[in-house]
Amino acid sequence: MLNKGVPKTLYMSLLTIVTLLSISFNILAVRGSVMVTGKIVDVDGKSLESVEVRVYSGGSLVTRTYSSSNGVFSLNLESGMYEIQLEKRGYEARSMIVSIPFSGYKDIGLIVLDYSLKFTISLTSLRVKSMAEVSIPVTICNKGFQDELVEIQVETPEGWEAGVYSGSAQIWGLRLTQNEVQNLVMKIRVPFNASGQYELKARALGSTKQENTVSIYVEKAEPQILVSNYLTAQGLGGSTVTFELTIRNPLTKRFTAQISVMTPSSWVGSIVREDGRRLYDVSLDAGESLRALLKISVPENAQPGNHEVRVCAISQEFVSSFSFYIIVAGGTVEPKAYTDTPYVESYAGSSAKFPIEVENTGESDGVVSINVTQLPIGYPWKLSDLSGNILSKVYLKPSEKRRLNLIVEIPPLAEPQTIPFMLEACTQESSSRLNLTLGVLGFYSMSYETQNFYTESTAGSTSGFIIEVKNNGYSFLTNVRPEIINVPDKFKVEYSPEVV
C-alpha cells in the first residue's frame, strides 16, 4: 500500500535498492565471506587517506586495499584468523590480528596511527639563572616502515646558544632506520643579560614535522668574574695580608673591565700580577683567565675585629664584586714548649744537649723569653739555634715555630745521679713549662804513679815497695785494693792497707 505524499517513482526506486542489497548479502552469505570495514585516523582524529591495508593468512598475502579520503577501508574475507598490516609514509606501521566470523558483518572500528617520527623533550619548563648551562635529555625515534632522514632545528631568543648534541658533537641531521631510537641531549647556554620568561622551540623535520617548546624563566645573576679559594685571613697591625685571586671571563664573548679595591679607611689595597706588576684593568677572551694577588696593608692602629675588603670588576655590561675578610687579632703571644727528648744522659765533665721546639699559639707576634730553673749550682746552661747562635729570647709570629738546643755543662767532679729541672718559655701574659731530666754518668779512670818496680834483697830477708795510684777520672773511687798475681813459689807477699 502506497503512502500518501510519496511519489510512485521514488517508492519504486527505494524498493529496487533494498531488493538489490538483499540479493547481494544473500550471495555473500552463501559464499561464506564477510565484509570487514574500519576507519583510520591520526592522533588528532583526522582521517588518513591512502593507507595501505594488507591482509595475511599463514604468512601469505590474501588481499590488499587502501583507505579512502575519509579514512575508511572495506574488505571481503572468508571466516578465519587474519593479520592486518597498515602502512603509510610518515606514520607508524601497525599490525593487528582479526578473527572473522562465519557470516555477518565485521567492523574493526577506529584505528589510530601515530606519526612515525617521534621527537620528545623530557623537560618542558625550567627555572635557571643567567649564564647557566642547561642539558635536557632528548629522544628521537622512527616507528615507521621506512628510513627517516631527519633535520634538527633549534629556535632560540636573540643572544642565546642552543643545539642538540651526541656527546660533544652537535647534530644537525641524522638518518633513522625502522624502529631506531636515538637518545640525545639539548644543551642551552643562557646569556649573562637574560632575565624573565623565554621560549625555545626544537624541531625534527622528516616525513612529518615534530616540534617541542621549552619554557625557561631566567633569574638575573651576577657574573662570577672574581674567584678565590680563601676568603678570610688573619692579620696584625702593620702587617701585609695576601690573597690569591683568579680573574676569569665566563661569558661567550670578549670583555674588558676595570679592577678596583675598596678597603676600610687608612687601609691600602692593590692587585698585582704574578710578576709583581700592578693591575688596573683586564681584557679577556671567552673562557680566558688571569691569576693575580690581592695585597692588603693593615695599618698599625687597626682595631681588632673583622674587616671587609671588596674587589670590583666593572665593565659596560655588568658589575662584579667579591669580598674578602681580614681578622685583626688583638690577642697575646701564647708560647708553647715541646721536646721529644725530655731525658738526656751525659758523663761528668761533658755537656748534655736537649733539642727544644718553641711555638707561638697566640694571635699576636712578640718576644718569648726562655729560662732554666732548678739546676744545681755549678751546672751552667746556654740556649742556641741550629746555626749555633747563643740566645735567651726568640721573636715569634702567630703559629711560628723555632727549633733550639738547650746545652747543660756537667762539672768534672759530679757524681752519678739524675737531676730534674725545668725550662720555661714565657711572656708578660703567659708561659709554658717543660719538665726535663739530666742523667749524670760517672767517669772512672786510675793509673800507677810508681816509677821503680825493682829491688834487691838476700834470701830470708824482707823487702818492700811503695805503690802510688792516681785517680784520673771525674768521680770518687772507693774500695780500691791491690790484687797480687803471679807470686813465685815459697814467696810470701803482703800489702797494707788492704783497702783505700
pLDDT recorded at residue 292: 93
Beta bridge partners of 489: none
Interstrand relation of 351-360 and 335-338 (parallel, antiparallel or unpaired):
antiparallel
Query: At CB < 8 A and 24+ separation, what contacts does 18-21 make?
Result: none
Measured CA to CA, the distance from residue 6 to residue 2 in angstroms comes to 7
Measured CA to CA, the distance from residue 175 to residue 39 in angstroms comes to 31
**Model confidence at 460: pLDDT above 50:** yes
The pLDDT-based confidence of 52 (bands split at 50, 70, 90) is very high
**Model confidence at 391: pLDDT above 60:** yes
**Model confidence at 24: pLDDT above 70:** no
Q: Is 434 helix (H, G, I), strand (E, B) or coil?
A: strand
The pLDDT-based confidence of 39 (bands split at 50, 70, 90) is very high
**Model confidence at 480: pLDDT above 80:** no
DSSP H stretches of helix in 315-418? none
The pLDDT-based confidence of 192 (bands split at 50, 70, 90) is confident
* Secondary element (H or E) of residue 17: helix 8-31
User: Among 160-174, 289-303, 459-473, which stretch is predicted with the lowest mean pLDDT?
Assistant: 459-473
Average pLDDT over residues 226-249: 88
pLDDT recorded at residue 23: 36
Average pLDDT over residues 292-305: 89
Quote the percentage of the chain above a pLDDT of 70. 91
DSSP line for 102-136: SSSEEEEEEEEE-BSEEEEES--EEEEETT-EEEE
**What is 32-113's CATH number?**
2.60.40.10
Domain ranges of the chain: 1-30, 32-113, 117-219, 226-328, 335-441
* Secondary element (H or E) of residue 16: helix 8-31
Q: Which fold has domain 117-219?
A: Immunoglobulin-like (2.60.40)
Interstrand relation of 125-129 and 209-219 (parallel, antiparallel or unpaired):
parallel
**Model confidence at 83: pLDDT above 90:** yes
Q: Is 404 left (phi over 0), alpha (psi -120 to 50) or beta?
A: beta
**Model confidence at 375: pLDDT above 50:** yes
Show Cβ contacts of residue 186 under 8 Å, excluding neighbours closer than 6 positions.
Answer: 121, 135, 136, 137, 138, 154, 162, 163, 164, 165, 202, 214
Q: Could you check whether 117-219 and 226-328 share the same CATH topology?
A: yes
User: Among 107-121, 412-426, 432-446, 452-466, which stretch is predicted with the lowest mean pLDDT?
Assistant: 452-466
**Model confidence at 20: pLDDT above 80:** no
The pLDDT-based confidence of 442 (bands split at 50, 70, 90) is confident
Whether domain 335-441 has CATH 2.40.50.140: the reply is no
Tens-place pLDDT, residues 398-435: 889 999 999 999 998 888 899 999 999 999 888 999 99
We find that the CATH architecture of domain 226-328 is Sandwich (2.60)
Tens-place pLDDT, residues 311-367: 999 887 778 889 999 988 767 889 999 999 999 999 888 999 999 999 999 877 789
Tell me the three cell numbers of residue 425. Answer: 718559655
Tell me the three cell numbers of residue 487. Answer: 807470686
pLDDT recorded at residue 5: 44
Average pLDDT over residues 365-386: 93
The pLDDT-based confidence of 474 (bands split at 50, 70, 90) is low
Show Cβ contacts of residue 1 under 8 Å, excluding neighbours closer than 6 positions.
Answer: none
Measured CA to CA, the distance from residue 235 to residue 297 in angstroms comes to 9
